[in-house]
Homo-oligomer: A and B are copies of this chain.
Amino acid sequence: MAIPYEVDPWRIRETTLDLQRLAQTESVFALSNGHIGVRGNLDEGEPHGLPGTYLNSVYELRPLPYAEAGYGYPETGETVINITNGKIIRLLVDDEPLDVRFGRLDSHERVLDLRAGTLTRTMQWCSPAGPSIRMTSTRLVSLTQRSIMAICYQLEPVDSEVQLVIQSELVANEPMPFLGTDPRTAAVLESPLRALEHLANDDRIVLVHETKGSGLRLAAAMSHAVETPGKRTLDVEAEDDIGRYTLATRLRPDERLTLVKYVAYGWSSHRSRPALHDQVAAALAGAELTGWDGLLSEQRGYLEEFWRGADVEVDGDPEVQQAVRFALFHILQAGARAERRIIPAKGLTGPGYDGHTFWDTETFVLPALTYSVPDAAADALRWRYSTLPQAMERARQLGLQGATFPWRTISGGECSGYWPAGTAAFHINADIADAVHRYLDATGDMEFAREVGVDLLVHTARLWRGLGHHDLDGRFRIHGVTGPDEYSAVVDNNVYTNVMAQKNLRAAADLVLSLPDEADRLEVTAEEAASWRDAADKMHIPFDERLGVHSQNDGFTDGAPWDFRRTPPDHYPLLLHYPYFDLYRKQVVKQADLVLAMHLCSQAFTAEEKERNFSYYEAMTVRDSSLSAQTQAVIAAEVGYLDLAHAYLTETSLMDLRDLERNTGDGLHLASLAGAWNALVSGFGGLRRRGGRPSFAPRIPETLGRLEFRLRYRGSLIKVTVHSEEAAYELVEGPELTIFHHGEEHRLQDALRLPIPRKTPSLPRPEQPPGRPPLGHLIQAPGQYPDQSR
């Protein structure tokens, strides 16, 4: 398989159209601002891999069936739906519809420009009837005007006059190619929208719909500005599920038609049909006033400011350079204007995982946002905070104290239908608390702490205090939970969960100490806070003295080893070929678990433990999850296997650009993309938190000549430049601050140059399970790798 995209530092450019890979490219070329998401479907609508237009948190309910029911099982799930499609611009050239499957495609190019924030498509097509046209469309989802998508669509005949009919549409309830295997779910999703209003008035069209089960109303509106030299006819019409703007004209070879299409979206569970109608009409008026050039210019300006504080430069690996910027761009798209709504695991790029958000967001996506667009990180956590009443109710339902956040959700309710890998994965609560801690550490934002942070920390601390218990020997234990490694479930004293809970308990106790009024409001007594510290201090952390490594949970290292030699290469991901009971009881790890604990709770492990643990678990970690490689990169870098870290960096970076898991088609893996940043900044940059001061331990492999990254920290912007022998720190703006470099404290006033100490691991470079090395060193030929699940 050829590399599908040109390697370019600032652009994702595709120069031939491969119809077999349409779905994947639609995800890669998706545009979003966190509120609206549009997949990179072709303007003319067909062919498509998967049509997709999404509004953050517009979902439908679907039944969650069980062969055997159980107390506390959620009976209704939520699933993202394809909303009114405003991307469609159909074209009739003479009497032939433009369709790349017919006629002759002389050229076809798509470019996602990471600085312009646009997707541009250029093609020359010769119709089966003879005439050729050149078409260029440029599409943007505005980062500055949250409700707006706009398309600039241009046509030129190549060599003869043609008659052109353009049909620009809004289409609701588009037929979908695949609606899942459950007939009841398919029934729900087949035509999810019920029409409330359709209006065609002059050149403006408005469609208002509502969802049937979840009771959400949404409105879409469009208007057009057209420039064309000759005579034209216009027709504007609307029905329940379609609005159509039809323009007919004739064009000579030296002439050009330009159509700008503005589309506005809005939704609400509360606001009335007329209010929504007016809202999208107003948004449209605003966009028209700004105009296409104005939207383009605002977009570029917004991104310029973003890249100034977020860019990561890598010498020596142009693929990773491109990938990390692609990653940051999509993270920005997912989070920029989500504004107290979710950041789903696949952003708004596809319907994968039902459009749910998981722990991925807090654990893997928010770090990059926290240090580049901290307000967006705060908003993501404000969304969690907005669901606190549901999480407290869920805790009550489960007989627990505090709050229990859902494993997967859109609106805040638990949507997981398999509790051992859902409800039991209580670590998500510590992951949320850790994201709060990270944000507060990086910003010192005490208003946030008072309004949002303290509630999240206190209610999660209460959860842990009630979930765990002291044993006869006084140790604090947390039994019956599932850690990040989903190949071990419902275990006792998962190290990751326990050290994260420990951190959660201590962070809550610290914060209430500094916010006595809020502590009073939340009725946290000194006794309660002391009981959190006590539980944290007595936390039981399983360690196997025989092996000199931590046991991922009680009894883990006594489990049978997985028989890798008898596992055929096509039996990955294992969960599709082996029953859970077999995976759970053996020593095989789906994704970094203990190794992630060593990243996020760095100080809970000695350097020697990190080395030994990394080697032990590396040999049984199969990476059947796209979340794993980045963490292995981070710890491989810390313990000194820089080449291995580079290979894992490459794997996580190219997950979607190379479609390594073969499921990029249903959306990008946002957390894996974020892994490019994590592997570079936390891995090679060695970024860790250390009491309100950033701590770095940079070290890069010789293959990379230079790594440079930017970081916002407590109102300052820091630039870190790493070479193999030394690192430079520059205070780009903001107040001076203290940093750590390889454990030593330094005052950063404007610039520092510091040498990098050498480090050689004491153990040989660890082996991965047979056939499961990082894909980085083989990345040229991704076709040979089997599917992997999340």
Contact = CB atoms under 8 A, between A and B. Distances in A.
Contacts of A692: none
Contact of A424 (B546, B581, B586): B581
Contact of A66 (B65, B399, B419): B65
B546 A580 contact: no
Interface string A563-580: 000000000000111111
Nearest to A74: B67
Nearest to A475: B558
Contacts of A481: 581, 585
Contacts of A584: 480, 490
A398 interface: yes
Given A67-B65, A472-B546, A579 B399 contact: yes
Secondary structure at the A interface, as helix, strand, loop or mixed, is loop
Given A554-B555, A579-B398, A67 B77 contact: yes
Q: Say how many copies of this protein the assembly contains.
A: 2
Contacts of A399: 578-579, 582
A489 interface: yes
Contacts of A291: none
Given A66-B417, A70-B418, A423 B581 contact: yes
A559 B67 contact: no
B558 A492 contact: yes
A489 B490 contact: yes
A578 B67 contact: no
Contacts of A479: 555, 558-560, 585-586
Contacts of A490: 420, 489-490, 581, 584-585
B578 A418 contact: no
A78 to B, nearest CB: 12
Contacts of A546: 472
Interface in A410-424: 416-421, 423-424
A416 to B, nearest CB: 8
A477 interface: yes
Contacts of A64: 67
Contacts of A576: 71
A418 B416 CA distance: 15
A523 interface: no
Nearest to A408: B68
A108 interface: no
A735 interface: no
Interface in A5-30: none
A584 B489 CA distance: 12
B480 A419 contact: no
Contacts of A489: 490
B68 A65 contact: no
Contacts of A416: 67-68
Interface string A91-134: 00000000000000000000000000000000000000000000
A356 to B, nearest CB: 12
B65 A182 contact: yes
Given A419-B579, A479-B560, A492-B555, A67 B66 contact: yes
6 contacts: A66-B67, A67-B418, A68-B418, A399-B579, A479-B585, A480-B582
